[in-house]
Amino acid sequence: MRVAKPLGLILALAVAGSVAFADGGGGTYYGAQTSRYPFLDQYSPTNNSMGLVYCGGYGYGVSDRSIIGGFGAVLQDPDNETGIRGACGGMVNGLRLVRQPVNLSIVSWTGLGVIFTGSYPTADKRHFLYVSEEIDLELGLPLTRWFMPTLYAGYQVAGNLVPDRPFSSFLSYSPVVGFRLAWGKFY
């Protein structure tokens, strides 16, 4: 009984100390598939952009320069031409390249979710378990110690897992652009 109190106190102090010196944050984001990057008009990467948009929430911690966290998102066809919609969740992993005066990071967003393909030409099935991978270059401007808007550009690949053979019935690969609003500790 006497051992538990000092051990609990030491554990509480260690957790409080690690939180006091931790970097990271969380917030909301909005992104869209595009057929070309807005700042590289002459360069048109290989894509089959469906013009899908997605939004969600995320959170991450930074240890030294390594970023790790998680996210949740919903996606849809904003013009409702195909009726595609879905949701996913997953892991955020990355590397912070620069901390100040701007925050520059390269980040991987790996997700698993469900998607309804609507009228998108697929096999006879319309619902799939799908996987997605997105690699982004993020540029954040910490306006205060606790608030940072971020712009990002990257590339996203998503495809069905089951039913059917993986990536055989639904496959999307496209440049993405968007912004994030984060609250946390940034410097």
Q: pLDDT tens digits, residue range 105-114? A: 999 999 999 9
Q: What is the pLDDT of residues 142-158, one digit of tens each?
A: 999 999 999 999 999 99
Split into its structural domains, the chain has a count of: 1
Which residue range forms the structural domain that includes residue 46? 23-185
CATH number of the domain within which 111 lies: 2.40.160.20
- Domain assignment present for residue 115? The answer is yes
Is the residue at 145 inside a domain? yes
Domain-located, residue 117: yes
Asked whether residue 2 is assigned to any structural domain, the reply reads no
The answer to whether residue 149 is domain-embedded is: yes
Q: pTM of this prediction?
A: 0.82
In this structure, the number of other CB atoms found within 10 A of the CB of residue 60 comes to 22
- Specify if 152 maps to a domain: yes
* In-domain check, residue 155: yes
Integer Cα distance of 164 and 142 in angstroms? 45
DSSP state of 2: T
* Number of residues written out for the chain: 187
In a domain, residue 13? The reply is no
